[in-house]
Amino acid sequence: MMVSFAAMLLAPQLWVLVLSQILLGPALGLIYHSSLFYSMDVGKNKGEHGGIHESVIGVGNCVGPAVAAGALKFFPGHPGSGVWAVCLLLAPGWAMLFRMRYREPRRPG
Type of residue at 33: H
Phi-psi region of 43 (alpha: psi -120 to 50; beta: other; left: phi over 0): left
* CB of 67 closer than 8 Å to CB of 86: yes
**109 domain residue, yes or no:** no
86 located within any domain: yes
| This model's pTM is above 0.75 | no
Helix 2-10 × helix 81-102 angle, to 10°: 170
Q: At what angle do helices 14-41 and 49-74 cross, to 10 degrees?
A: 150
pLDDT at 73 (0 to 100)? 92
Residue 108 maps to a domain: no
Query: Does a structural domain hold residue 27?
Result: yes
As for how many domains the chain has, the answer is 1
Question: Chunked in runs of 10, what are the mean pLDDT values of the chain (109 residues)?
Answer: 82 89 89 77 69 80 90 89 88 82 70
Asked whether residue 25 is assigned to any structural domain, the reply reads: yes
Report yes or no on 68 lying in a domain: yes
- Please, are residues 33 and 42 in contact by the beta-carbon 8 Å criterion? no
Give me the domain span that covers residue 98. 2-37+47-102
**pLDDT score of 46:** 65
